[in-house]
Amino acid sequence: MSSLTVQPDRPTKPKSRSRRLPNTSLLTAPSIIALLLWMIVPLVMTVWFSFQRYNLINPTLRGFAGFANYTQLLTSGALWSSIVVTLILVGSVLAITIGLGTLLAVLFNEEFWGRGIARILAISPFFVMPTVSALIWKNLLMHPVNGLFAFFTRSIGLGAIDWFAQFPLFSVILIVSWEWLPFALLILLTAIQSLDQEQVEAARMDGAKSIATFRFITLPHLSRAIAVVAMIETIFLLTIFAEIFVTTAGGPGQATTNLAYLIYIKALLDFDVGGASAGGLIAVVLANIVAIFLMRLVAKNLET
Amino acid sequence: MATQPATQTNRKLYRKLWLTLLGWAVGLLLFFPVFWMFLTSFKTEVDAVSAVPQLFFQPTLENYTEIQDRANYFNFAMNSIVISIGSTLLVLLLGVPAAYAMAFFPTKGTKGTLLWMLSTKMLPSVGVLVPIYILFRNSSLLDTRIGLILIYTLINLPIAVWMIYTFFKDVPKEILEAGRMDGAKTRQELFHVLLPLALPGIASTALLCIILAWNEAFWSINLTTTNATPLTAFIASFSSPQGLFWAKLSAASSLAIAPILIFGWMSQRQLVRGLTFGAVK
């Protein structure tokens, strides 16, 4: 409070302004308090539960567990395999969406007939709810008997492929990439549009080929936007849930169980609150490592 | 001499033609799954599961009428509408004053506060699923619209504050100064000068919040069972074997995504700013 009224660096502030200042803390307080509670309360509870023996359907089994939940989690193969699945999922989707997204952003930056409509069609998957996109792909496209892909692969003599049984993780990656490619495209296209066209023209006058202009002018210009896309996507992709829930339910075996799905199984199917909380904390730590980079990037942007 | 410009325009024309073909191919390819679902929603169940895809068929509307009869589709849609609009209103109620204060009366702590708010977005939902589930169970918020409204408000609040903050920042200072010189009171300033200027920005923020709340699936699947189930979780229930009605699934899905798809098309420009917290312009 006192920091609001004391302004040593600007002693000649207009009176009307300083009179209004105390009010502004009233305006920000509700948001700050709500978010503070949202951040602290569940996190403290998660930490607390992670050291407890706590099963939702067996109330007699209670008490301090020490690090038992953690050691159990760390020694069982499930955690490690789920972290590996998480990292493969995040890594491949990032590579696909940013790689293709950059190329498509260059394409949609060029002028052609009906560009507006073509672009709107291309970004549409991003607005489709994850459960719907997962079900379309699972049933209408990738179904081994009646799916459209099965029809195509049969037509060229490959026979029907049971995508979710034979290539489970690849199938999930394909669906998630389809959902997130439009996001990368949209952000990178916006970034390209702020590129100085005179610079590009000048390079062209000097005889630079389009590949060279892309490599030495467009790509460096995009580096910041690419970093933003990578960070934001990573935060969402680390906790992909609905697509796995709807298509493979984590299977076959553990093939598509990522960290988010493992915690869901522990918490709401096994009712093991302690174990799920320990897993949850590991997810929080993973996300925070990524978040630190994003915050740096945004903080830099805030200076200007 | 005269042919030189002609070949050049010819080359330009060819280039544009190729780009048009390529651009449309990409657009149609990415949109295809949505189009195919939409098409399937007008097929009979027999046509829908046919191993040879039916491109030409006798269209029927029966799927659209039957999803209401069988599953009381209207209830789920109503949950989605109430929850996404309710949380969006709450977000604006909390977020607009905060963004206003931070944009026009910044203090030393403002930058830190903004970044801290953003940092709450980094908390992965799975990390706090267990405590929220238990808190909700103990306060009987499980499977209620209020419960989901609260969650979605907290999830979207940081994004909304950031978006509105950047829109307020764009309002030219001179206009506000002029109003102040003329002796306008704070409230008048707010309603007659600022709000009309910032209204498009606030509207697109609201649109983004509705889109995000409408499509959210993790919390809706885990915190609802029957009463408050929104469309995301309702559609997810089709993944069980007994729900295998592809044409009906397609009809339900088409209805579920149509309004948001249109909202998304309308607000794509402003979305970039909101989705990247203003880091890409």
Provide the 8-state DSSP code for A76: S
Record the pTM.
0.86
Choose the closest CB to A140 out of B40, B123, B153: B40
The verdict on A187 touching B (C-beta cutoff 8 Å) is yes
What does the alpha-carbon distance between residue A101 and residue A12 come to, in Å, rounded to a whole number? Answer: 52
CA A47 vs. chain centroid, Å, equals: 24
Q: What is the mean pLDDT of residues B89-117?
A: 89
Residues 169-208 of B with CB under 8 A from A: 180, 186
Choose the closest CB to B16 out of A45, A112, A242: A112
Q: Write the pLDDT tens digit of every residue in A58-81.
A: 777 777 877 888 888 888 888 889
B contact test, residue of A129, A233, A269 with most B CBs within 10 A: A129
A117 neighbors B27 (Cβ within 8 angstroms): yes
Considering only residues B183 and B15, tell me which one the structure prediction assigns the higher pLDDT: B15
- Bridge partner list, A64: A52
Percent of chain B whose pLDDT exceeds 90: 35
Q: Write the pLDDT tens digit of every residue in B29-64.
A: 999 999 999 999 998 887 887 777 777 788 888 888
**Cβ-based burial of A200 (10 A; exposed 0-12, middle 13-18, buried ≥19):** middle
Flag whether pLDDT at A50 surpasses 60: yes
Choose the closest CB to A280 out of B130, B232, B256: B130
* pLDDT recorded at residue B269: 78
Flag whether pLDDT at B1 surpasses 70: no
pLDDT category of residue B3 using cuts at 50, 70 and 90: low
Chain B contact set for A294 (CB, 8 A): 122
* pLDDT recorded at residue B54: 74
What does the alpha-carbon distance between residue B118 and residue B123 come to, in Å, rounded to a whole number? Answer: 10
What does the alpha-carbon distance between residue B153 and residue A304 come to, in Å, rounded to a whole number? Answer: 29
Residues 12-71 of A with CB under 8 A from B: 16-17, 20-21, 23-25, 27-28, 30-32, 34-35, 38-39, 41-43, 45-46, 49
Measured in angstroms, the CA of A284 and the nearest CA of chain B are apart by 6
pLDDT category of residue A10 using cuts at 50, 70 and 90: very low
Range from A73-82, A94-103, B195-204 that averages highest in pLDDT: A94-103
b/e B71-100 (16+ beta carbons within 10 angstroms → b)? bebebbbebbebbbbbbbebbbebbbbbbb
What does the alpha-carbon distance between residue A131 and residue A3 come to, in Å, rounded to a whole number? Answer: 48
Residue B156 corresponds to which tokens in the numbers above?
Answer: 């979207």
Chain B contact set for A241 (CB, 8 A): 125-126, 217-218, 221
Residue B25 corresponds to which tokens in the numbers above?
Answer: 């191919």
Q: Which residues contact A218 (CB under 8 A, 6 or more apart)?
A: A106, A192, A195, A200
In A51-76, which ranges are continuous DSSP H helix?
68-75
**Cβ-based burial of B253 (10 A; exposed 0-12, middle 13-18, buried ≥19):** buried
What does the alpha-carbon distance between residue B224 and residue B229 come to, in Å, rounded to a whole number? Answer: 5
What does the alpha-carbon distance between residue A95 and residue A97 come to, in Å, rounded to a whole number? Answer: 6
Is B236 within 8 Å of A182 when comparing Cβ atoms?
Answer: no
Is A46 within 8 Å of B231 when comparing Cβ atoms?
Answer: no
Identify which of A231, A236, A264 has the alpha carbon closest to the alpha carbon of residue B123: A236
Q: Write the pLDDT tens digit of every residue in B209-253.
A: 999 999 999 999 999 988 899 999 998 888 776 556 888 889 999
Angle value at C-alpha B20, between B14 and B26, nearest 5 degrees: 140
Angle value at C-alpha B235, between B233 and B238, nearest 5 degrees: 115
Q: Write the pLDDT tens digit of every residue in A98-157.
A: 999 999 999 999 889 999 999 999 999 999 999 999 999 998 898 888 888 888 888 888
Considering only residues A298 and A188, tell me which one the structure prediction assigns the higher pLDDT: A188
Flag whether pLDDT at A7 surpasses 70: no
Q: What is the mean pLDDT of residues A42-69?
A: 82
Identify which of B46, B27, B54, B51 has the alpha carbon closest to the alpha carbon of residue A149: B51
Over chain A, what is the mean pLDDT?
Answer: 84
Chain A contact set for B272 (CB, 8 A): 186-187, 190
A263 neighbors B131 (Cβ within 8 angstroms): no
* pLDDT recorded at residue B275: 78
* pLDDT recorded at residue B34: 95
Sign of CA dihedral A165, A169, A172, A174: negative
Residues 100-159 of B with CB under 8 A from A: 100-102, 105, 107-109, 111, 113-115, 117-135, 153-154, 157-158
Q: Write the pLDDT tens digit of every residue in A241-275.
A: 999 998 988 878 888 998 889 989 888 887 888 88
Percent of chain A whose pLDDT exceeds 90: 30
Considering only residues A295 and A79, tell me which one the structure prediction assigns the higher pLDDT: A79
Choose the closest CB to B53 out of A25, A127, A148: A148
The verdict on B46 touching A (C-beta cutoff 8 Å) is no
* pLDDT recorded at residue B183: 60
What does the alpha-carbon distance between residue A137 and residue A139 come to, in Å, rounded to a whole number? Answer: 6
Provide the 8-state DSSP code for B192: I
Q: What is the mean pLDDT of residues A274-298?
A: 84
Chain B contact set for A59 (CB, 8 A): none
Q: Write the pLDDT tens digit of every residue in B267-277.
A: 887 788 777 77
